[in-house]
Amino acid sequence: MDLPEFPPKVGVGDFGEALWNPEAATPPGLIGPDGLTAPKRFNVYRNNVIVSLCDALEQTFPALQNLLGEDYFKALARAFVVQHPPKSPVLIWYGSDFPDFIEAFPPLASYPYLADVARVEWAWVQAYHAADVAPLDPAALGSVDPNVLGSIRFEKHPAAALIMSSWPVWDLARANRFEPDEEIRVDLDRSQSVLIARPEFDVELLQLRPGGDVFLNALLSGATLGEAAALAEGQVAEFSLSDCLSDCLSIGVFTDLVTA
């Protein structure tokens, strides 16, 4: 008895390449109930995959969508998805490269603030899903010997992130996502840095005081309290160590301090 001929198996590489390339032909071996190649079925599947990823980006970056408009955002998201397929099956982690993609996207060169707005939104998502860790009790500083206070270092909370920007990302994020009903004047000549953290259940955003970004960035990079304070004081005349440190502690940026 003659055995029926089966189509060749579809290689993972062939399938993946065709899935992300809308110009690619249907991979050989993909057939419909009639035993023939099924390009329409594959195109529907391919489109559904891309649309679902675009929808995920829309959920992650609503402020960016408001700034660009729905149609432009969808086109931008689709261009990104085709070039940056997901590396994880968990959609909440999809989009980490989107801010860099926007920054390098030639048609948006006249809107350089968009990438930093996207970075604020991505940091919000990371903070929301970060591990639950109790923040450092501000009273812990009171138990430190004043003679070694300048040499202490802090351990970063997994939900904490700092976005240092040359643009008013705080006002742009508030106006287009977090406080859309408020009348917020956005001055594009103003630079703002934003601290994102989740001390308990809700993600919090805080605009840092003058020099606070320099100070916190140094601490998060491993500098001692004294080193970070000296760096900020040397760059920003208005820097206040007590105020900036209080801001960081109140929003739960750290989990512990190291005195050795």
Q: Which tens digits make up the pLDDT trace of 183-224?
A: 999 999 999 999 999 988 899 999 999 999 999 999 999 999
Structure tokens at 118: 């996207």
User: pLDDT at residue 129 above 80?
Assistant: yes
Among 148, 156, 137, smallest CA distance to 196 is for 156
pLDDT at 35 over 70: no
Coil/strand/helix, residue 237? coil
Distance CA 33, CA 95 (A): 36
Cα angle value 83/86/89 (rounded, 5°) = 165
Amino acid at 146: P
The reported pLDDT for the residue numbered 200 is 86
Q: What is the overall mean pLDDT for the chain?
A: 87
Note the residue count of the chain: 260
Q: How many CB atoms lie within 10 A of CB 16?
A: 12
Of 32-36, 144-148, 230-234, least confident by mean pLDDT is: 32-36
205 touches 120 (CB < 8 A): yes
Q: Which of 52, 128, 53, 67 is nearest to 97 (CA)?
A: 53
| 233/243 Cα distance (integer angstroms) | 13
- What domains lie within the chain, and their CATH numbers? 1-111 (no CATH), 115-260 (3.90.930)
Determine contact, residues 244/131, Cβ cutoff 8 Å.
no
pLDDT at 3 over 60: no
**What was the pLDDT predicted at 163?**
98
For residue 130, give every residue at least 6 positions away whose Cβ sits within 8 Å of its Cβ, in sequence order, or none.
157, 158, 159, 198
pLDDT digits (tens, 9 = 90+) for 70-81: 999 999 999 999
In this structure, are residues 161 and 217 in contact, taking their beta carbons and an 8 Å threshold? Answer: no
Q: What percent of the chain has pLDDT over 70?
A: 81
